[in-house]
C-alpha cells in the first residue's frame, strides 16, 4: 500500500514538473525571422507568453511551450500592418465607403493575409466616427485604427457628391478635436476625392494634422487643370505626411511621379523624399500602374509603406490582398527584407504606433508566418498589364495578441490519434 502511494505521489510530482516547465503558451520554432526594427534576419525561435513576445533565441526547447508551431522552411515576421484600407462596412445605401457596402468587414480579409492591424483610410468623418467605433472598431478582432476624413461627412456618396466636394464640411478644428479625443485610435487625417483645382482641402487637412500633431494622408488630384505634385510635396505637405497612390497611372486630371516620355522619376520626387514625405502604395482598384512602379523601382525608388486600399472594387481585381501587392514588389526586385519592413515596422513608425511592427521581447505578440512559394506567378495592374514574378508570399499562420487567428495548414492543431 505504501509503495502504491509512493508511485501515485511520484506521478503527481512528475506531472507538476512537466506543467511548470512549460514556460510559454506558444513557441514558433525553426523559422527564418525577419524583424526589421531589431535588424534580425536569421533562423530564430520565438516564444510567446501572456500575449507578449517572451523570448527570441536561436534554440528554445520545445518542451518549454504548451503549443509548438513548426515554422521550418517559413518566414516569421511581425504581424503585417496595412495603413490604407476601408473597413467601415455598413448598410447605408448611400454610404459607399462610410457605413456602406463598398467598405469591407475587416476580420474577413486581414488575418488570412497575415495582417494584424489595419488602418481605415478616411472612410469616416467626425459625424459618424462614434458609430464607426461602436459598430466596427470595438467589435473587430483585427486591430482597427483610423485616419479621420477632413470632411465631417466622410466618404459618403460618390466622389462628386456634395459630401466630398463641399469645403464647408472641412473643419480643421473639429477634426483635430476628434483626433485628440480618440487619440489611441485616430492616427492621422485623410483628404481624398476633392476635384476642384485648389489646395484648400489639402491645406485644411494639414492644419488639422498640425493641431493634433498627427500625419496627413493625401489622395491627391482629379482636377482640371491638374494640380502640381511638386507644389504638394515641397510647399503644402510636412515631413511625415503621406502621399498615397504613389504609383497611380497618368490621367488627364492627375500628375504622376514618373515622366512617361523619359521613363524617369521627376527630380522633385527625390527632393520630397529627402524632405520626409512618405510614399505609400495604396494599390486599390485604380491606383497602381507598372508604367509608374517599374521605372521607379529601376531607379531604386521603392515605397516606404506598402498598402492595399482594400474595398470591394479592389479585392477581386488587380490588388487581391496585401501579400499579392508585396509579391509584386518582389517581382520588381525590391529585397524581401525591405518588403517586410514596408509592411511592418515602417508603417508602425509612420502612424506613430511604435509598440507595433516588431518582435522585441515584451512587445505585443502579433506575428505572421509566411511561405515564400517559388515558381512562375502572374501579377497585373489596374490597366490590366501583366508582370511575371518567381515568388509569391502566402500566409500560413497569423497570431494576434498571442492567439492563433488563422492557420492555413493546421500547424497549430493536434494530430488525429491513430
**What local confidence, expressed as pLDDT, does residue 5 receive?**
45
Task: Quick: pLDDT tens for 239-271.
Answer: 999 999 999 987 878 999 999 899 999 999 999
Read off the pLDDT band of 19 (50, 70, 90): very low
**What local confidence, expressed as pLDDT, does residue 200 receive?**
96
Name residue 398's beta-bridge partners. 368, 406
- DSSP states of 165-186: H-GGGB-HHHHHHHHHHTTTTE
Read off the pLDDT band of 221 (50, 70, 90): confident
Mean pLDDT throughout 343-371?
A: 98
CA distance 350 to 238: 13
Phi and psi dihedrals of 32, rounded to 5?
-95, 110
Task: Quick: pLDDT tens for 278-287.
Answer: 999 999 999 9
| Domain boundary assignment for the chain | 79-350
CA distance 185 to 398: 22
Q: What order do you get walking across the sheet with 24-29 strand by strand?
A: 52-57, 45-49, 24-29, 65-70
245 φ/ψ sector (left φ>0, alpha ψ -120 to 50, else beta) = left
**What local confidence, expressed as pLDDT, does residue 160 receive?**
66
At residue 12, the 3 state secondary structure works out as helix
Which H or E run contains 345?
A: helix 345-350
The sign of the dihedral angle between the CA atoms of 42, 369, 396, 336 is negative
Q: What is the pTM of this model?
A: 0.93
**What local confidence, expressed as pLDDT, does residue 279 receive?**
98
Mean pLDDT throughout 49-53?
A: 98
Task: Quick: pLDDT tens for 107-159.
Answer: 999 999 999 999 999 999 999 999 999 999 999 999 999 999 999 999 987 77
Residue 177 CB partners (closer than 8 Å, separation 6+): none
How confident is the prediction for the chain on average, in pLDDT? 93
How, if at all, do strands 45-49 and 52-57 pair? antiparallel
Neighbours of 239 (CB within 10 A): 11
Q: Given 3.40.190.10, 1.10.569.10, 3.20.20.140, 3.40.50.300, which CATH number is that of 79-350?
A: 3.20.20.140
Considering only CA atoms, which of 183, 187, 221 is closest in space to residue 201? 221
Least confident of 30-39, 125-134, 198-207, 247-256: 247-256
Which H or E run contains 273?
A: helix 267-275
CA distances from 39 to 58, 340, 361 (A): 15, 12, 14
Amino acid at each position: 500500500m505504501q509503495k502504491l502511494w509512493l508511485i501515485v505521489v511520484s506521478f503527481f510530482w512528475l506531472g507538476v514538473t512537466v506543467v511548470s516547465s512549460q514556460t510559454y503558451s506558444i513557441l514558433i520554432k525553426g523559422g527564418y525571422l525577419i524583424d526589421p526594427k531589431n535588424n534580425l534576419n536569421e533562423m530564430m525561435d520565438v516564444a510567446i507568453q501572456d500575449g507578449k513576445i517572451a523570448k527570441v533565441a536561436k534554440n528554445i526547447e520545445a518542451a518549454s511551450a504548451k503549443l509548438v508551431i513548426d515554422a521550418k522552411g517559413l518566414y516569421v515576421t511581425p504581424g503585417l500592418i496595412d495603413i490604407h484600407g476601408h473597413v467601415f462596412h455598413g448598410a447605408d445605401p448611400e454610404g459607399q465607403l462610410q457605413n456602406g457596402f463598398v467598405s469591407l468587414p475587416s476580420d474577413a480579409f486581414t488575418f488570412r493575409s497575415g495582417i494584424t492591424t489595419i488602418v481605415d483610410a478616411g472612410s469616416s468623418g467626425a459625424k459618424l466616427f462614434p458609430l464607426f467605433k461602436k459598430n466596427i472598431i470595438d467589435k473587430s478582432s483585427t486591430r482597427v485604427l483610423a485616419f479621420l476624413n477632413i470632411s465631417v461627412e466622410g466618404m459618403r456618396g460618390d466622389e462628386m457628391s456634395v459630401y466630398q466636394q463641399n469645403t464647408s464640411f472641412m473643419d480643421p478644428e473639429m477634426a483635430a478635436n476628434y483626433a485628440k479625443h480618440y487619440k489611441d485610435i485616430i492616427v492621422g487625417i485623410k483628404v481624398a476625392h476633392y476635384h476642384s483645382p485648389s489646395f484648400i482641402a489639402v491645406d485644411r487637412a494639414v492644419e488639422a494634422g498640425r493641431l493634433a500633431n498627427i500625419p496627413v494622408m493625401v489622395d491627391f488630384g482629379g482636377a482640371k487643370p491638374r494640380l502640381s505634385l511638386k507644389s504638394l510635396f515641397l510647399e503644402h505637405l510636412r515631413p511625415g505626411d503621406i502621399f498615397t497612390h504613389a504609383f497611380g497611372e497618368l490621367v488627364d486630371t492627375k500628375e504622376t511621379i514618373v515622366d512617361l516620355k523619359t521613363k524617369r522619376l521627376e527630380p522633385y520626387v527625390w527632393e520630397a523624399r529627402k524632405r520626409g514625405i512618405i510614399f505609400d502604395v495604396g494599390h486599390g482598384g485604380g491606383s497602381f500602374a507598372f508604367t509608374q512602379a517599374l521605372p521607379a523601382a529601376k531607379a531604386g525608388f521603392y515605397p516606404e509603406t506598402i498598402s492595399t486600399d482594400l474595398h470591394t472594387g479592389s479585392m477581386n481585381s488587380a490588388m487581391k490582398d496585401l501579400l499579392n501587392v508585396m509579391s509584386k514588389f518582389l517581382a520588381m526586385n525590391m529585397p524581401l527584407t525591405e518588403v517586410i519592413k514596408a509592411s511592418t515596422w515602417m508603417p508602425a513608425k509612420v502612424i506613430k504606433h511604435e509598440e507595433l511592427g516588431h518582435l522585441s521581447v515584451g512587445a505585443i505578440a502579433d506575428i505572421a508566418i509566411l511561405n515564400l512559394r517559388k515558381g512562375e506567378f502572374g501579377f497585373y495592374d489596374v490597366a490590366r498589364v501583366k508582370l511575371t514574378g518567381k515568388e509569391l508570399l502566402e500566409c500560413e499562420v497569423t497570431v494576434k495578441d498571442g492567439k492563433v487567428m488563422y492557420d492555413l495548414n493546421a500547424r497549430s492543431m493536434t494530430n488525429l490519434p491513430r
